[in-house]
Amino acid sequence: MADLFKIGLSGLRAAQTNLSVTGQNITNVNTPGYTRQTAVQTTSPAAFTGAGYLGSGTKVVDIQRIYNQFLTNQVRTTTSAAAANQAYNAQIEALNNTLSSTASGITDAMKNYFNALQTAIEDPASLPARQLFLSEAQGLAGRFNSAQDQLSAQNRFINEELTSIAQQVTRLASSVAGYNDAIAKAAANGAMPNDLLDARDEAIRELSSYVGINVVPQDDHSVNLFIGSGQPLVIGKEASSLQTLPGLDDPSRLELHVVSGHTAQNVTSLLSGGELGGLLSYRRDVLDMAQNALGRMSLALASEFNQQLGKGLDLNSELGRGLFNDINADALVELRSRGRDGNQSTDPLTVHIGDTSQLQTSDYELTFIGDTEFRVRRVSDGQMLGPFDLSVTDESAPGYPAFDGLDLSQSNGSYIEGDRYLLTPTRHAAGSLSVVMTDPRQLAFAGPVAVEADLQNRGTGSMTQPVLNSGPEPMDLQALQAMGVTLTYINGTLSIESTATPPRTIEILNPTDPANPGAWSLEAGATAELQWSIDGYSFSMSISGRPLDGDSFAVSFNEGGVADNRNALLMSELQSRQVLGQADGARGFSLLDGYGDLVQRVATLTAQSRTEAEANQAMLVQATNQRNSISAVNLDEEAANLIQFEQYYNASAQIIQVARTVFDTLISTMR
């Protein structure tokens, strides 16, 4: 009888355990990260009798998780990738809307600017037309400022997000370390703490949504977590913290450091995956590029128009002045370089923009290899430039400190070997663009000099108005006012001479006959190009028709050229002139093409990001479904198990009832 009682009781205990496990599964159906459990049941050791071995019932030897490590790892990996794409996509969508929108983009403002210039060209003496052009210039500058503000706001948002996410990573790392300790202690008793394992897996999965991690299991059932290129985040029950600190090169951009004890390691450039990886990738690959591209455009716009205005005369017969603020003003130069914290020298670098057509959309890392010598690494492509030497003053000499349109020759501090600087020549420029001209009469639409045919000329020869190609900056008004040049045609040649007192030296820049460099040989009826210089001013013009001997033309200061629009026409050509991207001998492109290229690049990256985000989200859903098909709780299945184990319990109880009846019968017989 005792054997029958024992077998029945073991069945009751096993059924009760199975019912408890099933109930645990059902009640945790909505618990994040919960893995369904099952009771592992086996027979109790059989006892030998004369008739053979007789079983002694059953027992539950373990409560196991229905768990697949591969599928769990797959969910964690796809979670990290999807979170990275989502964070990246959110930022680039905002940038794409800013650049392509008619309300905030540059394209429409640029077109309105050149349309207003064309209106002023048609009537250069009209003050309302000139005022309209000034107003459109202010509107264009405002668009650049607004776009820069949007990008700066994104940088501040990324800083805030990095700080918030770093705190979450630190919290979760501490949780995983705590779970490691508890699991190691519990596992030492010979059984696995399933609920703790589930909680740790869920914490690791959540952690992977913030940053890409590498999980390494240990023999004591704990796990070590590593980020970046192998930097430890969790080792056993010890957790490091992730902190944000201002960048050594650029304090406006936070960097991430793994802090363990008193040791901190910068891992900003090493992190990938998760929200951190997505935000850092966007900042590095898109935000920096967009800021520098906008800055380069604004610098070229200001430089080209200011230079062209400086070659003309305004309504007051005064030399032209800048429409936009000076691109090399002290306030702007101060924004272009910053010494790294820890430099021995505190002297700044003076970074002037020498040629905007050579500018790149990149920052630079400068390192001194001597007191005056330095090398430069272009951040965008990693190319090393130099060495350069601040002591070299000859622009044509090797080592002159100029590269990519930048000129550092005016840096005169006391620098020390090992000092490092971050150069940001274009990053802040778009936000600093402003219109400084307020009087429309000061717009220098007229050419500085004019040519006039002598009234006594007998031939049909005519000359185009001179175009000033180059000259001293700024120009000398008195020198131009005193300029007097006469071109005279005699016996098929055109000679040029100064009529100033005393006479000035004139150089013909394109002589047609090497034997006669002081005159041009003309072909009757053909058009000839004339290029000449005087007092450092270089001019070009052309002559056509059939001049006769003795015909002459006088070039002099354009006094009272109110209706003259020659310089304004040259300004309008800047709409299509290649003024950007001419580095390394490239053909270059115009201002509008430069902005169009930026919009297209961002739009392409946005489309790629959308595709990748959709693909990664689909992969995450698939991986999650595969994991859930094995490990998640199925209520239908658990309901069937509940009925099964209830019947199992009743049947085991019936065994005990039968044993009791048999025992009662035996006792009654013996009475």
What pLDDT score was predicted for residue 612? 93
Instruction: For residue 238, list its beta bridge partners.
Output: 235
The pLDDT score that the predictor gives to residue 375 is 96
Q: How confident is the model over 232-236, as a mean pLDDT?
A: 94
Is the pLDDT score of 172 beyond 60? yes
Q: Please tell me the number of Cα atoms within 13 Å of 651 on its side-chain side.
A: 9
Looking at residue 614, what is its pLDDT? Answer: 93
User: What's the average model confidence in pLDDT over 650-660?
Assistant: 84
Say yes or no to pLDDT of 169 above 80. Answer: yes
Task: Give the confidence band of 1 by pLDDT, cuts at 50, 70, 90.
Answer: low
| Residue length of the chain | 671
Q: Give the CA distances from residue 77 to residues 23, 32, 70, 222, in Å, rounded to whole numbers and listed in that order.
A: 32, 17, 11, 20
- Long-range interactions of 109-113: CB distance < 8 A, separation 24+: 109/136, 109/139, 109/140, 109/142, 109/143, 110/140, 110/591, 110/592, 110/595, 111/592, 112/136, 112/139, 112/140, 113/137, 113/139, 113/140
- Please report which confidence band the pLDDT of residue 481 belongs to, taking 50, 70 and 90 as the band edges: confident
pLDDT at 4: 81
Whether 248 and 134 have beta carbons less than 8 Å apart is answered as no
What are the distances in angstroms from CA 670 to CA 4, 664, 665, 666, 667?
Answer: 20, 10, 9, 6, 5
What mean pLDDT is predicted for residues 439-465? Answer: 93
Q: What was the pLDDT predicted at 360?
A: 93
CB 64 within 8 A of CB 631: no
Report d(CA 292, CA 428) in Å as an integer: 8
pLDDT band at 2 (very low <50, low <70, confident <90, very high): low
DSSP 575: G
Contact 662, 1 (CB under 8 A): yes
pLDDT of residue 6: 84
Do 308 and 284 form a contact (C-beta atoms < 8 A)? no
Confidence tier at 668 by pLDDT (50, 70, 90): confident
Does residue 386 surpass a pLDDT of 90? no
Structure confidence by residue, pLDDT tens digits, 588-641:
899 999 999 999 999 999 999 999 999 999 999 999 999 998 988 999 998 999
Mean pLDDT of 460-480: 89
Distance spanning both ends of the chain, measured CA to CA: 18
Percent of the chain beyond pLDDT 90? 70
- The strands making up 484-490's β-sheet, listed across from edge to edge, are 449-453, 552-557, 484-490, 493-498, 519-521
Closest listed residue to residue 543, CA positions, set 486, 465, 464, 468: 464
Predicted confidence band of residue 671 (pLDDT cuts 50, 70, 90):
low
Span 642-659, mean pLDDT? 87
Inter-residue long-range contacts of 81-84, CB under 8 Å, 24+ positions, other chains counted: 81/273, 81/616, 81/619, 81/620, 82/613, 82/616, 82/617, 82/619, 82/620, 83/208, 83/209, 83/210, 83/273, 83/274, 83/275, 83/278, 84/212, 84/272, 84/273, 84/274, 84/275, 84/277, 84/278, 84/281
Percent share of the chain, pLDDT over 70: 99
**How far does Cα 99 stand from its chain's mean position?**
14
Torsion angle defined by CA atoms of residues 189, 195, 197 and 202, in that order, rounded to the nearest 10 degrees: -170
Q: Which amino acid is at 212?
A: G
**pLDDT exceeds 90 at position 288:** yes
Query: For the chain, how big is the Rg over CA atoms in Å?
Result: 41
> At what angle are helices 107-122 and 127-187 packed, to 10 degrees?
170
Going by the DSSP 8-state scheme, the letter that residue 287 receives in this structure is I
Q: What is the pLDDT of residues 32-43, one digit of tens each?
A: 989 999 999 898
Alpha-helix residue ranges (DSSP H) falling in 310-363: 330-333
